[in-house]
Amino acid sequence: MLLLLGLVVQLGFTAAQLARYDPTCPKNWVQYEDACYRFVRSPIKRRDAAREACQGFAADLMSLNTMEEHAFVVNWLRNNDPQHRDWYMGARQQTSNVWTNDGDSTPLQGLESAFLPEQENVVDKSYAAYSFSEGSSQWGLRKVPGVERLLYICEIKLSEQNFVDVGERDHTYGRDVTEARLVPRGPKMVLQPKPAVFDISQRSTKNDVTIKCLADAYPYPTYEWYEEVYEDDKLIYNKVDPLKDSRFTISGGVLMIYAPDQVGERGKYHCRATNKFGTIVSESVQLAFGLIGEFNQKRSNEIGQMNFGKGIYCDPPQHFPEVHYLWVRDYFPNFVEEDQRVFVSHDGHLYFSSLETIDQAEYMCNVKSTISENGKIGPKFRLDVEAHSNYQQLRFAHNFPKSFPEAPREGEEVRLECVAFGYPVPHYNWTRRGGDLPRAAHLTNYDRVLTLPEVRVEDEGEYVCRASNSKVSSEASVTLSIQAKPRFTIPLEDQHINEGSDLAWTCEAFGIPEVTYAWLRNGVVLDPKDFEKDPRIEIQDSLLTFKNVTDTDQAMYQCRATNQLGSTYSSAQLRVLAFAPSFAKQPLEALMYAGLGMNQTIACEPEAAPRPDITWTLDGRPIGTGGRRRVLANGYLQLDPVSQEDAGEYTCTATNQYGSDSSSGRLRVLEAPVMVEQPQRLMVKVVNDMVILRCEAEADPGLDLAYVWTHNGIPIDYHEIDTRYHRLRQPGYLQIRNVSLEEDGTYRCTARTAVGEISAESRLTIAGPPEAPGGVQAFELNATSGRLEWQDFDDNGRHISMYRIEARTNWNSSWFIIKENITVERDALGITTLRRYVFPDLLVPFSWYEFRVSAANPLGYGPPSPPSPRYNTAPARPFTPPTQIHGGGGKIGDLTIKWKPLTDRYRNAPGVYYKVFWMRHEIEPEIDYNEKTLEEYGNIGQYVVTIQRKYFYSQYKVKVQAFNSMGAGPISEEYIIYSAEGMPQAVPTEVAAKAYNSTALNVTWRPIEHTREGLRGRLLGHRVKYWIRDADEATESLILLKSSLEPWALVVGLQPFTEYYVRVMAYNSAGSGQESERIPGENVQERAAQPTDCRQCGADQPAHRARDIGESPRRVCVCGSATRTSRTQTTRTCRWASVWRPISMTWSQGAWYKLRVLAYSAGGDGKMSSPEWQFQMGNPDDLRGGSSRLEQAIPARAGAAGRLPGLAESDGCRLNGDSVNHPADSLLSDKRLFVCDVWM
């Protein structure tokens, strides 16, 4: 349909050009087949009054004629009446078991099942009403006497309706105004006033109160406010006049009262909005004054007993509105914290489910206003907890569970509380008797509180709280009854009707208790007695009827629904129209289209009041009302069927007493499309194939042609995510990629234009793996075997050739394959789809099984079947011996035998236990094993045998056998294990400790001989114990664990220039052996210091010097020096005898070099001198000529000299073998080794 409308827009057609007139039900009526139904919820009436009310709609009580109609009514009631109320319908009992519909006088035949079962055949119950049976949980007809006030169902035939629904008119009807906000209209309340509370305690900061209402209207409305007072039990409306009392201000719809008086201004108020079309009244609201009185400061102490429940009342002061309760313990603001035992109820009471000593304290109950920060502090009192020899039996506290509020209203938040006394402290659970908890309900406060936000009427029911502790459970319930302020289910709607017409104006509201109705005209209540002299107007509850409406009836009307909770208004405007017809807004389309042979309706919709007479002409010739062309009751022209003779110019003329108008349009008759290529009627494809369905049609060139494909009657959505359907460039072609079994079915191609359509079908069969089998059952199961039966379903185009059986069990929750690729024979009973398979010892005893079966054909395996019911196999003795047998561990004298306990997969029966066998390996084979039955230990995996201590770390032969309640299993193979080890007796010898670097010692010893008596087990490694020479060995020593058998260890993280002692010991799984003798470690050195000065003296072979290494806190032995250049990547090292040392390297004349020096010793490398020094080799005079750095050159021949920049002149050097003056260096005796890095 959406596609068709899209085509219409593309062609420039309108809905009026293509519409076919189909009569529909009036608003608020429900259509089923050829009838309209009105389910009237309010007001409830006796049976005769209900029928009279239906007749006011020109209808009658519903007539039941078929079970399908009964199903329609039941379905509506199921979805729309959660309260399960009773509804009158039109059946009446004439004689015994003979029922007749009052509405159409037809009998109820074949409708016995529509009546609820088990009803007495009572004479005075001669009417029927739809009712819900709680016992059978179904809707049906119940016999009723007719005097009860119930809801009712009206019915009217569709053909009897007046299809011109004037209710569809709006305020623009008959007017040329198009801007919505400027359309003239009467007032409608868009903001009802809300109750207001003036807080007396805040008068010094805010001394006014405001109430607001707002109405939508044009011209814009004026507002008045009225105070409602009673004088002599009669309600009087006193107008609020700001001119008489300056404390009152009215601005727009806002009423502000300055310095309100608690006595004079307390009460109800409403506003009225007025413009030239009439007046409406708002809902009444209460202006109240908030206050919190003073606590009674005299309060006695409370006494409770240990492990007994206790409830403490707050005794709050007088207050309005509600307050929040805050309990304080000992001092403010140490508020009482709620927990599993302690609870503060919504009414302020403090409850202890079971008192404890810590509850003994002083308490205060405080209250805080809900409309301000104002609050009051209650008196302090003491709670003493006395010891008791017994404890509280579980019971509910003080009429719990409770509902807050006690009489909740629809839309409010309801809090259901449950508190119980008892020891141990109880926990709670909420349920709803006969149904589920409301969807929005949630639990808080340790599940004591069930909250229903915005409660609905259908949330009514009995709510059950169950309190439980480890000793007992108990339950109690609270019945929730919801009240509802009236709310309109069918509000009034504006009426724009013709002068002289009749009007049946109805409203409907729902409320609990039941609502009553009143009607207001321009804010004044209409009294039915006032119309006794004017029979044109009649009021019947929620129905206001006008006959022959006149201009004087124009006004603003309100339907008021009232119950004990208040009143609600629904407002609407009655507008009486009288003007000549006009096609200005809805003329006939200039060009219209109709399909040859189709049914076409041309709409004629002028604006006119009263309703005009409609005449039609074709090419100037009048059109009669018979034959293929006929004018409908609403003025539409129907052509059925359309022929070529119907083409031409049509003119619709509308006439009433105020004038006439006409509109014309030309109708073009077009032929429907013709199919020229149809999709193949039958196609067979395999899963994952690509399918192309071809469809092509021809149509009138002036029309757009569209193609619609459906699969099994459902339109194909090309935009769906992961769709397999695709359009091709050729219009009408459908491509299906990677077809699956889901694409199997009937495809229909519909070629459609604006004037007709044609269709063709194709049956596509997809061959694929078989469907899942069903009905899987097991029979004759024993411990390991059984028979499985299942039923085949669709093989999807290929013969089923084999099956796969899977299972899951209590010891494997995942599905696993029992048998695959099996072939089975068909059942001999002739049930062709029944299959059987006998398990050949594939099952595990004492297990539960669920089975599923997959079928396969040449295209593969299909999906598995649903799981079978759960079956149990019989128990049996163990089939497998224990595995993973090993030993070791324990103390000397123990033989520990370990094995893997039997899992659920291998137990085969309950009552699993073991027998162990052992004997020394050296004993002759003919000697029997020692054995021990471990029945009392159950399914364990280890047993320790006591042996003689002398047999430490000895080989034993062991075996293990499993047992269960059915008998003995096989004995395991023989395994060799070792008994427990003893601590090593061997002591490491020839222990030595030498310096490795400045922070490490290399400790060595002679390897220990591997003997049973020395090691008493398997050597795992060595422990090295070390401590500083002057430290306490017992408390300050450290242990290095070396888990290897090498006879050395590197102890790191030591302090330089510090002497250490070391000991070494061996260890095995039993522990460490004896320690070696105490051995002193060699004194380690720290690394050399950083040189602070370098000097270069050069000729053909330069020299370098490092001086002033710095006095170290500990003397470091210096070994020599080395040089390195980046050009040669060569390092040379030499030992010094003097402070100057020539550098023997190949130097490049004119090249620039950089130099850094470091010293190193046995303690490691020192820091390099910094910064680096830069120099150039060669004679400055020879090299002079372009470089600004020639002054720094070093001569490359004898007699030439130079120095590095930044060195003092006094530290200079001489060449040609002359002696060198240099400062003394006291550290040269330490034989430092200098490393000089030289690079270009």
Which tokens go with 676?
Answer: 């020229």
Domain 883-967: CATH superfamily, name plus number: Immunoglobulins (2.60.40.10)
Domain 989-1080 in CATH 3.20.20.120 = no
Give 14-18+579-667's CATH code, choosing from 3.90.1170.50, 2.60.40.10, 3.40.190.10, 2.40.37.10.
2.60.40.10
pLDDT at 1144: 55
Distance CA 146, CA 1224 (A): 135
Which tokens go with 682?
Answer: 């039958």
Find, among 295, 299, 301, the residue nearest to 362 by Cα: 301
Which tokens go with 77?
Answer: 């009631």
- 518 by DSSP, 3-state: which? strand
Q: Tell the residue number behind the tokens 């014309």, with chain if given.
A: 664
The answer to whether residues 578 and 498 touch, using CB atoms and an 8 Å cutoff, is yes
Whether the predicted pLDDT of 1095 surpasses 60:
no
Whether the predicted pLDDT of 1147 surpasses 80:
no
Query: Helical H runs in 193-330?
Result: none
Provide the pLDDT confidence category of residue 595 given band limits of 50, 70 and 90.
confident
Across the range 1017-1038, mean pLDDT stands at 89
Across the range 1102-1111, mean pLDDT stands at 45
Question: What CATH number does the domain located at 180-289 have?
Answer: 2.60.40.10
Q: In the chain, pLDDT over 90 holds for what percent of residues?
A: 47
* Region of poorest pLDDT, from 601-605, 622-626, 1203-1207: 1203-1207
Q: How far is CA 515 from CA 296, 511, 518, in A?
A: 43, 6, 10
Provide the pLDDT confidence category of residue 123 given band limits of 50, 70 and 90.
low
- In the Cβ-directed half-sphere of 1137, how many Cα atoms lie within 13 Å? 1
The answer to whether residues 1127 and 1119 touch, using CB atoms and an 8 Å cutoff, is no
DSSP 59-101: -EEPPP--HHHHHHHHHHHHHH-TT---EEEEEEEEETTEEEE
Distance CA 277, CA 216 (A): 12
Distance CA 1062, CA 1060 (A): 7
Angle at alpha carbon of residue 1029, lines to 1026 and 1033, rounded to 5°:
55
The answer to whether residues 979 and 954 touch, using CB atoms and an 8 Å cutoff, is yes
Q: In the chain, pLDDT over 70 holds for what percent of residues?
A: 85
Angle at alpha carbon of residue 1013, lines to 1008 and 1015, rounded to 5°:
40
What kind and span of H or E run contains 1068? strand 1060-1068
Across the range 1193-1206, mean pLDDT stands at 36
**Quick count: other Cβ atoms within 10 Å of Cβ 689?**
16
Provide the pLDDT confidence category of residue 1042 given band limits of 50, 70 and 90.
confident
* Region of poorest pLDDT, from 812-826, 850-864, 1024-1038, 1093-1107: 1093-1107
Q: How far is CA 87 from the centre of its chain?
A: 40
β-bridge partners, 764: 683, 745
Distance CA 581, CA 659 (A): 7
- 1173 by DSSP, 3-state: which? strand
Whether the predicted pLDDT of 1191 surpasses 70:
no
Find, among 125, 131, 177, 186, the residue nearest to 153 by Cα: 131
Distance CA 684, CA 170 (A): 58
Distance CA 696, CA 707 (A): 9
Q: Looking at domain 674-752, which CATH architecture does it have?
A: Sandwich (2.60)
pLDDT 10s digits, 37-68:
999 988 888 999 899 888 878 889 999 999 99
Distance CA 398, CA 961 (A): 64
Same topology between domain 30-162 and domain 291-477: no
pLDDT at 1163: 59
Residue type, 1137: A
CATH C-level class of 774-872: mainly beta
pLDDT at 534: 77
| Residues sharing a CB contact under 8 Å with residue 116, sequence separation 6 or more, in sequence order | 131, 133, 136, 138, 140, 141, 142
Strands 955-964, 208-212: pairing is unpaired
Residue type, 710: T
Distance CA 970, CA 972 (A): 6
What does pLDDT average to over the chain? 83
Cis bond upstream, residue 405 (ω within 30): yes
Angle at alpha carbon of residue 259, lines to 256 and 261, rounded to 5°:
105
Q: Looking at domain 30-162, which CATH architecture does it have?
A: Roll (3.10)
The answer to whether residues 976 and 957 touch, using CB atoms and an 8 Å cutoff, is yes
Distance CA 733, CA 750 (A): 11
Express the helix, strand and coil content of the chain in percent, nearest 5 each. Answer: 10, 45, 45
Distance CA 1114, CA 1124 (A): 29
What's the pTM?
0.56
| Residues sharing a CB contact under 8 Å with residue 680, sequence separation 6 or more, in sequence order | 693, 694, 762
Q: How far is CA 733 from CA 430, 674, 682, 704, 744, in A?
A: 60, 16, 16, 17, 18
Ordered by start, the domain boundaries in the chain are: 14-18+579-667, 30-162, 180-289, 291-477, 484-577, 674-752, 774-872, 883-967, 989-1080, 1093-1239
- 879 by DSSP, 3-state: which? coil
Strands 1060-1068, 1164-1165: pairing is unpaired
**Quick count: other Cβ atoms within 10 Å of Cβ 772?**
19
What kind and span of H or E run contains 50? helix 47-55
Find, among 738, 741, 712, 713, the residue nearest to 725 by Cα: 738
What are the start-end ranges of the E strands in 13-160? 30-32, 35-45, 60-61, 87-95, 98-101, 127-133, 138-144, 150-157
- 933 by DSSP, 3-state: which? strand
Which letter does DSSP use for residue 338 in this model? P
Question: Of residues 82 and 657, which shows the higher confidence score?
Answer: 657
pLDDT at 1092: 53
Across the range 1196-1212, mean pLDDT stands at 34
Fold annotation for 484-577: Immunoglobulin-like (2.60.40)
pLDDT at 161: 65
Which region, left, alpha or beta, applies to residue 82 given φ > 0 means left and ψ of -120 to 50 means alpha? alpha
Find, among 886, 894, 896, 880, the residue nearest to 961 by Cα: 880
| Residues sharing a CB contact under 8 Å with residue 662, sequence separation 6 or more, in sequence order | 583, 651, 652, 653, 654
Which letter does DSSP use for residue 755 in this model? T
pLDDT 10s digits, 846-899:
999 999 999 999 999 999 999 999 999 999 999 999 999 998 888 888 899 999
Provide the pLDDT confidence category of residue 843 given band limits of 50, 70 and 90.
very high
The answer to whether residues 317 and 294 touch, using CB atoms and an 8 Å cutoff, is yes
Q: What phi and psi, each to the nearest 5 degrees, are found at residue 128?
A: -125, 145
Distance CA 463, CA 478 (A): 5
Instruction: Name the CA dihedral angle for 680, 681, 682, 685, rounded to a multiple of 10 degrees.
Output: 30
Q: What phi and psi, each to the nearest 5 degrees, are found at residue 461?
A: 150, -175
- In the Cβ-directed half-sphere of 1175, how many Cα atoms lie within 13 Å? 31
**Quick count: other Cβ atoms within 10 Å of Cβ 1215?**
19
Angle at alpha carbon of residue 1154, lines to 1149 and 1158, rounded to 5°:
130
Strands 196-199, 285-292: pairing is parallel
Whether the predicted pLDDT of 1226 surpasses 50:
no
Fold annotation for 291-477: Immunoglobulin-like (2.60.40)
Across the range 192-218, mean pLDDT stands at 92
Across the range 260-267, mean pLDDT stands at 89
Which letter does DSSP use for residue 441 in this model? -
Which tokens go with 1073?
Answer: 């052996």
Find, among 1021, 1023, 1084, 1031, the residue nearest to 1061 by Cα: 1031
Distance CA 1162, CA 1088 (A): 9
